[in-house]
Amino acid sequence: MTERSDTGRDNAEPSRSGAGVNASQLEAWFVREILPLEAELMQFLHHNWRNKSDITDLRQDIYERVCEAALEKIPDQPKAFLFRTARNLLVDRVRREHVVPFEAVADLDALGLVIEAANPERTAIARDELRRLQAALDRLPPRSRQAIVLGRIEGLAGHEIARRMGISESTVSIHLANGIRALVDILYGDPADVRRKP
């Protein structure tokens, strides 16, 4: 959370030599280059994978593979690298498990098109940030939404939120944690899919 705006943007690539990417460099790279692609990645996974309950696991596995590789060397083309990793992972899964219906991988060859698709203009996204945030908030489950609004907009601490909502502190924690997960899913992931249930 310390380096969001500047690191790596004005400077040269963090790992010119190809070795020695530290944790905060990796985090900054991941947040800057990979997370903004999550909506596209989720779209790709939904499109190419039948069992929707696997998708969070797949996403996490893909991120892990990407980050492990980035620890060695930061990829020159993050987007192409991310989708190549995603494709390879799906293919591995398909090979490992014999029960997969054939259609599940039918679209994999269309992937080239996905990779070539124009980069969404980040400027436009940032401009609409506040509006997006409000829209995301509006889509949270009611109790999570209330807890997040009290915490984030009114600036209350956890125990104050509990008092205001008339519920226990441990329940507030659950609502806050669920709210954070759902918000981040909406902000990065598939904007039409709120799948988190408390």
Partner 1 sequence: MSEMHAPAAEKNRAAEIEAAAAEWLQRRSFWNWTAEDEAALEAWLAQSLAHRIAFWRLNAGFSRTDRLAALRPLQGTAEARRGSFSALAKFAAAFAMIAALGLGASLYVLQPRERTYTTGIGGHETIAFSDGTRIELNTDTVLSTRMTTRERMVWLKKGEAFFQVRHDPAHPFIVMAGNRRITDLGTKFSVHRDGARLEVAVVAGRVRFSPADGANDLQSALLTPGDVAVATPSSLMVTKKSTSDIANELGWRKGLLVFRHVALAAAIAEFNRYNTTKLVVADPAAAQMKIYGVFRADNVEDFTALAHMVLGLHVAHEGNTILLSR
Q: Residue numbers of the site for partner 1 (CB under 8 A)?
A: 1, 4-5, 23, 27, 30-31, 35, 49-51, 53-54, 56-57, 59-61, 63-64, 67-68, 93-94, 97, 99-101, 104, 123, 126-130, 133-134, 137, 148, 151-155, 157-159, 161, 172-173, 176-178, 180-181, 183-184, 187-188
* 50, amino acid identity: R
* 171, amino acid identity: T
Q: What is the C-alpha radius of gyration for the chain, rounded to an integer number of angstroms?
A: 19
- When the beta carbons of 13 and 54 are compared against partner 1, the nearer one is 54
- Using CB atoms within 10 Å of the CB of residue 84, give its burial: 0 to 12 exposed, 13 to 18 middle, 19+ buried: middle
Least distance CB 76 / partner 1 (angstroms): 21
Least distance CB 17 / partner 1 (angstroms): 21
Report whether 45 contacts 59 (CB < 8 A). Answer: yes
Q: Which residues contact 23 (CB under 8 A, 6 or more apart)?
A: none
Coil, helix or strand for 56?
Answer: helix
Least distance CB 18 / partner 1 (angstroms): 19
* 27, amino acid identity: E
Least distance CB 58 / partner 1 (angstroms): 8
- When the beta carbons of 50 and 112 are compared against partner 1, the nearer one is 50
- When the beta carbons of 11 and 134 are compared against partner 1, the nearer one is 134
Least distance CB 116 / partner 1 (angstroms): 25
- When the beta carbons of 113 and 131 are compared against partner 1, the nearer one is 131
CA distances 125 to 81, 129, 162, Å, are 23, 6, 34
Least distance CB 142 / partner 1 (angstroms): 17
- When the beta carbons of 13 and 92 are compared against partner 1, the nearer one is 92
What whole-number distance in Å separates Cα of residue 127 and Cα of residue 106? Answer: 37
- When the beta carbons of 23 and 192 are compared against partner 1, the nearer one is 23
CA distances 63 to 71, 81, 93, 125, 195, Å, are 12, 11, 16, 22, 20
